[in-house]
Chains A and B, each alone.
Chain A
Amino acid sequence: MTAQGVLELTVYVVVLLAAAWPLGRYMARVYSESFVPPGWLALPERGIYRLAGVDPSAEMSWRMYALAMLAFNVLGLAVVYVLQRTQHLLPLNPEGLGPVSPDSSLNTAISFASNTNWQGYGGETTMSYLTQMLGLGVQNFVSAATGMAILVALVRGLKRTESGTIGNFWVDLTRSTLYILLPLSLILAIALVSQGVVQTFSPHAVATLTDPTTDVDGQSIAEQPIALGPAASQVAIKQLGTNGGGFFNVNSAHPLENPTPLSNFLECLAILLIPAALCFAFGHLVGDIWQGIALLAAMLLIFLPCLAFCYWAEAAGNPAVVAAMDSVEAISVAPATGNMEGKEVRFGIASSALWATATTAASNGSVNSMHDSYTPLGGLVPIWLMQLGEVVFGGVGSGLYGLLAFALITVFVAGLMVGRTPEYLGKKIEAFEMKMASLVILIPPALVLVGTAIAVTVPPGRAAISNPGAHGLSEVLYAFSSAGNNNGSAFAGLGANTPFYNLLLGVAMFVARYWLAIPILAIAGSLAAKKCVPTTSGTLPTHTPLFVVLLAGIVVLVGALTFLPALALGPIVEHLQMVSG
């Protein structure tokens, strides 16, 4: 660990909070019922409603809201599937790529509709420019907007009293896309191009090598093909929308997807920007900014130690590699002896560890280094952050609604201790809400553990493992932690582009997204119908340091109790093997 590295991480957190504050204010305005965009900017929105026959003032019950959400998502999923299967017949395919296999297409369609963006394929060798733009790029926007819409519906449920409705899905979806995701993406995309992120419809370039080389068969290679494409527009939204699906195979480790330390800082900032800003927006929307700050504080309370731990583990490096370097004298120029396998020189250890922590705290899943080559403890951090249920920042919208489910559990546990009916923001939390919140908290661990157990039991599951020993189990555990919590990053050595993994992980991603979204909307509907109970001296305040610690404690405890046995067999035992040589 270096002083410059620590300073870089500190500056990151400060800039993140400073940028999230005004954005949160703005988002709260967009979601308020009285919001009207200035001048002609309102025309596209009004046009969409007129064509679609949507009355923007018509409200929906929670069931209707869930149906609209599902219909929209299934439609999007189907379109992405068809685009992949027919891309060889469609334009904007300069490399002449063939159709994607049925199981991989289904996996990818679920993956992008569910805001997971798990990638079993390599972008530059699989997807045509049209599939990237019209299929994957569109889902990057609308899957993120879906998450934000569900969150806003839940906030309305908390805020309203004796109401049968929780808003209009079409309005929440359209506004999230047009007024939040689109302008931010436009700004970020242009900033990224200025740094060198490629944005072109030309076919791949071919360079003449300065020093010709040979391939594995001894054939002489005099030219270097260079994959290009409209990457910047897609990279911007994949970072902002906690999507994470890279344009190229190695995602944001690719120098044309993330060329400089500044582009890296901006992309990394974009990972947590909207999830952090939504906490402030939540505070504004419920009329008490401290409620939002408390949730953000609970997230930071878990995030910051994980960040420090990951940075420390990677900077400490791999003793076996250091021994092979025959390193007797320390060298003064960074990178010294940190773990550089699977990392890029322009980022070094600090920026790579920061990204790995941020991308798995949020359910982004993009990478700027190869997590599979992390030290055992450095790789433990991303796995565990996903296993916590993607509520430490989490996905845009989905992270905060997940954490609100944990908040309900927290007031319930606190209520049990003092023997009172629990309340959150003036709403009584009763059996129905607790059942739904329990579903939200229990489904992802079930998907992760059962999925991992199946995969390591059957031959097609084990055949895909690329690293021997305990690390092999970590690869499978990582895959299901990622899919079962809609993250999308991978220990990429796992050869997961097989029918077995495409289908099993596809099911996990689908269930993790929609079987959580529907209970959340059910909670929203149930809370909206309730009266507001007055605050008394017996009410647990939910904006105090006590509540913050309690909430973070519940999140950590559930995560630790559920996953410690599996982690002990994977990264922890591998760490012990590594240090003992």
Chain B
Amino acid sequence: MFSELSRQLRPALIVFLALTLVTGVVYPLVVTAIAWTLFPTAAGGSLIVQEGVVRGSRLVGQPFDDLRYFWGRPSATGPFAYNASVSSGSNLGPTNPALIDAVQQRAADLRSAHPGRGTIPVDLVTASASGLDPHISPAAAQYQIERVAAARQLPAEQVRRLVEEQTEPETFGLLGEPRVNVLLLNLKLDELSAGTAVGQAAGEPANP
């Protein structure tokens, strides 16, 4: 048996090295090269760069708690919400008292910030899987319109139109859920308030 094994050692080593070269070096480099040729912005993380400043990634959520902005979902990342270097969910179980307490606290905070609004959309009181969810549901955006409009002294109708513009439907009317990207919506809001359009979002220079 040991002589049989020793005869397999050379093939094991060489085949391993060869497949490592193909799948561990050539393959990722080829994917990178094609990605940066065809989709440079996406390959670089879909960064939003305005006037040389990275404002964020259009795919990664940011924390918002100012009354003038739409708020995203609760985030479980540490040590601060939406820390995109340590993605994490809450991992609280469905009967964990800590989950129920957190949901009740969030609901109370939302109610006091939005007096007179009815049912709170469930995505505003539950933590996302990644802690980086860039989206809220259209219901959650509509829930906040009056508060944001009042804080910015804008007509609610104008903010509502912006929310509708920023609402993405299900893909092909079939996949996923309708949603609103909170960071993009808030950047648009700032443009609206400033009254001047800020430079177009652009990708980072191609440099893999």
Contacts and interface: CB of A to CB of B under 8 A. Distances in A.
Nearest to B18: A48
A580 B117 CA distance: 29
A248 B14 CA distance: 31
Nearest to A468: B96
Nearest to B111: A326
B129 A193 contact: no
B90 A256 contact: no
A215 B120 contact: no
Contacts of B85: 124-125, 204, 225-227
Given A193-B38, A227-B84, A372 B139 contact: no
A53 B42 contact: no
Interface stretch (B58-66, B144-152, B153-161): B58-66
B118 A215 contact: no
Interface string A47-62: 1100111100000000
A341 B99 contact: yes
A224 B82 contact: yes
A122 interface: yes
Contact of A213 (B13, B65, B121, B134): B65
Interface residues of B, number: 115
Contacts of A181: 23
B186 A210 contact: yes
A11 interface: yes
A253 B129 contact: yes
A177 B183 CA distance: 41
A11 B132 CA distance: 29
A262 B172 CA distance: 9
Contacts of B55: 207-208, 210
Given A196-B46, A201-B208, A341-B99, A51 B14 contact: yes
A259 interface: yes
Interface residues of A, number: 143
A227 B86 CA distance: 8
Given A53-B11, A253-B129, A227 B24 contact: no
B87 to A, nearest CB: 4
A225 B122 contact: no
Interface string A398-434: 0000000000000000000000000000000000000
B19 interface: yes
A63 B190 CA distance: 70
Given A138-B24, A174-B15, A346-B176, A376 B66 contact: no
Interface stretch (A156-164, A331-339, A388-396, A521-529): A331-339
A256 B91 contact: no
Contact of B87 (A68, A124, A474): A124
Nearest to B171: A261
B194 interface: no
B122 A370 contact: no
Contacts of B91: 342, 370, 372-373, 466-467, 491-493
B27 A75 contact: no
Nearest to A230: B28
Interface in B85-122: 85-97, 99-100, 103-104, 107, 111, 118-122
Contact of A325 (B59, B66, B120): B120
Given A321-B103, A324-B103, A335 B45 contact: no
Contacts of B9: 71
A255 B132 contact: yes
A227 B87 contact: yes
Contacts of A574: 93-95
Interface string B1-21: 100110011111111101110
Contacts of A327: 119-120
B43 to A, nearest CB: 5
Contacts of A532: none
B133 A345 contact: yes
Nearest to A475: B93
Given A194-B38, A259-B59, A8 B18 contact: no
A134 interface: yes
Nearest to B85: A225
A190 interface: yes
Contacts of B62: 207, 209-211, 224
A202 interface: yes
Contacts of B103: 320-321, 324-325
Most buried by B among A135, A325, A335: A325
Interface string A178-204: 100110011001100111111111101
A253 B88 CA distance: 9
Contacts of B111: 326
B71 to A, nearest CB: 9
A4 interface: yes
B201 interface: no
Given A72-B12, A261-B171, A333-B137, A493 B107 contact: no
A270 interface: no
B13 to A, nearest CB: 7
A111 interface: no
B144 to A, nearest CB: 14
A33 interface: no
Interface string A541-572: 00000000000000000000000000000000
B90 A262 contact: no
A329 B120 CA distance: 10
Contacts of B19: 48, 138, 141-142, 173-174, 177
A471 B91 CA distance: 11
Contact of A199 (B32, B80, B178): B32
A79 B64 contact: no
B33 to A, nearest CB: 10
B164 interface: no
A213 B63 contact: yes
A138 B11 contact: no
A51 B39 contact: no
Nearest to B13: A75
8 contacts: A125-B85, A215-B80, A261-B175, A321-B122, A334-B178, A336-B122, A344-B128, A376-B94
Given A52-B18, A372-B92, A475-B93, 16 more contacts: A54-B15, A135-B24, A177-B22, A210-B190, A215-B80, A230-B32, A249-B87, A253-B87, A255-B132, A255-B134, A261-B170, A265-B175, A339-B94, A339-B126, A373-B89, A373-B93
